[in-house]
Amino acid sequence: MSDSENTKGHGESVPEDPDHSAQDSTGTERSEGGEGLTVDDILDTPQSQDAQAGDTQAADAASSQDDAAPAGESAAQKLADERLEDLRRLQAEFVNFKNRTAREKDQLRDFVSGEMITALLPVLDDVDAARKAGDLEDGPFAAIATKLEDALGKKGLTRIGEVGEVFDPTVHEAVLQQPTDEVEPDHVSMVLRSGFRVGARVVRAAQVAVATKP
C-alpha cells in the first residue's frame, strides 16, 4: 500500500455525530442547540395550563371546606333553636292542660256535691222549720241536725238569703214586695225559704220578700 493511501486512511478526520450531545469543560451536558439548564432556569419556567388549572381546583376545594364549616354550624344552631322552641311550646301546653284539669276537677267536685246536697234540701228545710218552731233547741235531734249542717258545710255548702242583703236576682227569687221602713228599698226584708250554694254553684235560689217604700 502507498504512503498516500495510508495518509488518507489515517489523516482524514471523522465527522462528528450531529445527534451526540456536547459536554463543556465541567462535564455538564448541553442540549442540541443551546446551553445546559440550571436550577434557576427550572424554577423560573412558567407553569403549563394544566398545572395552573390543578392549582386553581385545589384552592377552590380548600375554600369550599372553609365555607362548609360555618354553614354546618349555622344549620346545627338553627335545628337546636327549633327543638328548644318545640320544648317550650310543649311545656306551655302541659301547664295549660294541668290547670284546665285542676279546674275541671274542682267543677266536677262541686257538681257532685251539689247533686248530693240537692237531694238533702227537703231535710234541710225540715231542720229549718223545726228550729224556727223551737223544736231543735235541745236534745239528740238538735245535735244530729247540727252535725249534718257542719258536715255539709265542710263540703262547701253555704246558705243564701239574709234579711238586709241587697236583692240579687242571680241568687234571690223575689216572691213578694213588702212596704217597710225597717229595711232599705230593694233589700231583702224577709226570707221565706233559704237558698244554698256549693262553691260557686247556686243549687237553689232563696225565696225572699223585697222591701219597698211604704
Higher-pLDDT residue of 187, 136: 187
Q: Binning pLDDT at 50, 70 and 90, where does residue 1 land? A: very low
Cα atoms in the Cβ-side hemisphere of radius 13 Å centred on 41: 4
Which pLDDT does position 24 carry in this prediction?
Answer: 42
Chain segment 129-177, per-residue pLDDT in tens: 888 888 888 888 889 999 999 988 888 889 999 999 999 999 999 999 9
Region 194-204 average pLDDT: 88
Give the global pTM.
0.52
Which pLDDT does position 155 carry in this prediction?
Answer: 83
CB atoms under 10 Å from CB of 107, counted, come to 13
> What percent of the chain clears pLDDT 70, i.e. is strictly above it?
66
Given a cut of 70, whether residue 70 has pLDDT beyond it is no
DSSP 8-state assignment for residue 204? E
Extract the C-alpha cell encoding 7.
495518509
Higher-pLDDT residue of 66, 86: 86
Chain segment 100-130, per-residue pLDDT in tens: 999 898 888 778 877 888 888 899 999 988 8
Given a cut of 70, whether residue 56 has pLDDT beyond it is no
Burial of residue 98 (number of CB atoms within 10 Å: 0-12, 13-18, 19+): exposed
- Residues in Cβ contact with 131 at an 8 Å cutoff, skipping those fewer than 6 apart: 145
Given a cut of 80, whether residue 13 has pLDDT beyond it is no
> What percent of the chain clears pLDDT 90, i.e. is strictly above it?
32
Which pLDDT does position 79 carry in this prediction?
Answer: 86
